[in-house]
């Protein structure tokens, strides 16, 4: 079963940064990364849908993350690929901010 986890306090993930949450903490099959873009937090499976790259190492901007390996971009909200070479969506997860704490609800 998937477990909701406390990821960090608001302020611990800088704007334009991401934090990895290892699979051991969530029960999910992959590391999940929580991304901070312009005051909003999003969560996607960390491994790029195109290959072996960590999206947490990518470039976060304008509601998207760009893969560091071949530069595919994914919508942080929907996980949908925005350009080649990725064709498969990134799996998304629910993030909730409660009383200054960032919670991840893996789905």
Interface residues with ligand FES (CB under 6 A)?
A: 48, 50-51, 53, 67, 69-70, 72, 85-86
Tell me how far, at minimum, the Cβ of 60 lies from ligand FES, in Å: 14
**Structure-token pair, residue 59:** 């470039």
Distances (CA, A) of 79 to 1, 24, 54: 22, 22, 14
For the chain, the maximum distance between any two Cα atoms, rounded to a whole number of angstroms, is: 39
Q: How many CB atoms lie within 10 A of CB 42?
A: 25
């Amino acid at each position: 079963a998937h477990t909701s986890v406390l990821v960090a306090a608001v302020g611990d993930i800088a704007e334009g940064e991401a934090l990895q949450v290892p699979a051991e903490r969530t029960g999910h099959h992959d590391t999940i990364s929580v991304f901070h873009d312009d005051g909003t937090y999003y969560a996607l499976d960390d491994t790029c849908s195109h290959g072996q790259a960590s999206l947490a190492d990518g470039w976060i901007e304008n509601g998207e993350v760009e893969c560091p390996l071949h530069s595919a971009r994914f919508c942080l909200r929907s996980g949908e690929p925005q350009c080649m070479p990725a064709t498969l969506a990134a799996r998304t997860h629910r993030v909730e901010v409660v009383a200054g704490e960032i919670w991840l609800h893996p789905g």
